[in-house]
C-alpha cells in the first residue's frame, strides 16, 4: 500500500461538478492499493499517518501530529501510484489491485481513520475527480507499507 500525504491548509474534491469532500486543515492522502495488500497494510499506513509529526508547534517546528492539531483527512483512491514506467511511454498498472479489492481496502482505510477520531472526507471510488488544495509548507511525505516492513 502506498500513500502520498500532503499537508493542506484546505482541500476539496469534486465529482461531476459536485463537491463530495472538503477539509479545512489537515492532509490530502492519495492512496494506492496493490494485489497483496491486507488489513495489516491498512493498519500500518493509518498508524503512521495519524501520528506523523508534520504540523508546526508554537516554535514553528514540525512536532505535532494530525491527532494533536485535530486535522482532517481528504482521502482519494489513486491506482496510478502503482504505475510501472520501466518500458515504453505508456505506464502499466498491472501492480494495482483489482477494483473490488482496492475499494474494500480503501473503505477499510477510511473507516480505520474515522475510528481513531479523525474526520475523513472522500471522493468517489473509481470516478474522475478534480482535487484542489493548498499544500502547506509545502510538506509532502510518501509512505509504502512494503518498504517499511523491510526495515
Q: All domains of the chain, ordered by start, with CATH?
A: 2-150 (3.50.80.10)
**Which cell numbers hold the place of 67?**
491527532
- Our answer to whether residue 78 is catalytic in this structure is yes
Residue 149 pLDDT > 80: no
Residue 147 or residue 13, greater confidence: 13
* Spatial contact of 98 and 126, defined as CB atoms under 8 Å apart: no
Residue 148 pLDDT > 90: no
Catalytic residue among 79, 109, 112, 133: 79
- Our answer to whether residue 55 is catalytic in this structure is no
Catalytic residue among 6, 34, 78, 112: 78
Look up residue 78 and give its DSSP letter: -
- Our answer to whether residue 79 is catalytic in this structure is yes
- pTM of structure: 0.94
How many whole angstroms separate alpha carbon 149 and alpha carbon 41? 9
Catalytic residue among 38, 80, 134, 148: 80
The residues, any chain, with a CB within 8 Å of residue 3's CB and separated by 6 or more, are 29, 30, 31, 32, 45, 49, 142, 143, 144
Question: Which residues are paired to 76 by β-bridges?
Answer: 30
**Which cell numbers hold the place of 85?**
514506467
How many whole angstroms separate alpha carbon 135 and alpha carbon 139? 7
Task: Read off the pLDDT of residues 12-58 as tens digits, 9 standing for 90 and up.
Answer: 999 999 999 999 999 999 999 999 999 999 999 999 999 999 999 99
Amino acid at each position: 500500500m502506498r500513500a502520498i500525504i500532503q499537508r493542506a491548509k484546505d482541500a476539496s474534491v469534486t465529482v461531476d461538478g459536485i463537491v463530495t469532500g472538503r477539509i479545512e486543515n489537515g492532509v490530502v492522502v492519495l492512496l494506492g492499493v496493490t494485489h497483496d495488500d491486507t488489513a495489516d497494510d491498512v493498519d500500518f499506513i493509518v498508524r503512521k499517518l495519524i501520528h506523523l509529526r508534520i504540523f508546526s508547534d508554537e516554535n514553528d517546528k514540525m512536532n505535532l501530529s494530525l491527532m494533536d492539531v485535530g486535522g482532517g483527512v481528504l482521502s482519494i483512491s489513486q491506482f496510478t501510484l502503482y504505475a510501472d514506467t520501466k518500458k515504453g511511454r505508456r505506464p502499466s498498472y498491472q501492480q494495482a489491485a483489482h477494483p473490488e479489492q482496492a475499494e474494500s481496502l480503501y473503505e477499510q482505510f477510511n473507516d480505520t481513520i474515522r475510528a481513531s477520531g479523525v474526520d475523513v472526507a472522500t471522493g468517489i471510488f473509481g470516478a474522475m475527480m478534480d482535487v484542489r488544495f493548498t499544500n502547506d509548507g509545502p510538506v509532502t511525505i510518501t509512505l509504502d507499507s512494503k518498504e517499511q516492513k523491510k526495515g
